[in-house]
Amino acid sequence: QTKQRAMRVYTKMYKRSLLELSPLDGALFSLQWSPTRPGTLACGGVGGRVCLYDLTVTGGEDVQPTTQFRACDRGTNVQGVAFNPVLPEYLATADGFAVRVWELGLGLTTPRSNESGFIDAVANAETAAEASA
């Protein structure tokens, strides 16, 4: 059974999701994949919260945030997140009142060895399982 408040990652070929990314509560409104880490993405959500997911660390089908923080003092919803494509250690967030820029730690921005291979392996394992079902 799928969760109503989860973000799902799919392949192009199959209807079943590879992963479900679950916020701790509430909805997710925006998402961006890291330009330097194919296994890392940032989501903006309800109550000013930003969730960062590192798929190489949090494996499994139901993925919880690797880290999260409150991006808006007012608790307004984060409606936009964007990594800086030139300086990917910076993440911008936007709510209805302001745009803020956050400096992320090296663990979330430094590419890991064979990270692309890990993501490919997850997708290929799931699509192979779907094809044999």
Structure confidence by residue, pLDDT tens digits, 4-18: 566 777 666 666 666
Q: Provide the CB-side half-sphere exposure for 20 (13 A, CA).
A: 12
Residue 49, beta-bridge partner list = 70
The most confident of 21-25, 55-59, 103-107, 125-129, by mean pLDDT: 103-107
Average pLDDT of the chain is 78
Res. 2: pLDDT tops 50:
no
- The stretch 110-129 carries a mean pLDDT of 69
Res. 22: pLDDT tops 70:
no
> Residue 7 and residue 43: Cα distance in Å, rounded?
10
> Residue 47 and residue 7: Cα distance in Å, rounded?
17
Whole-prediction pTM: 0.76
Q: Select the more confidently predicted residue: 133 or 49.
A: 49
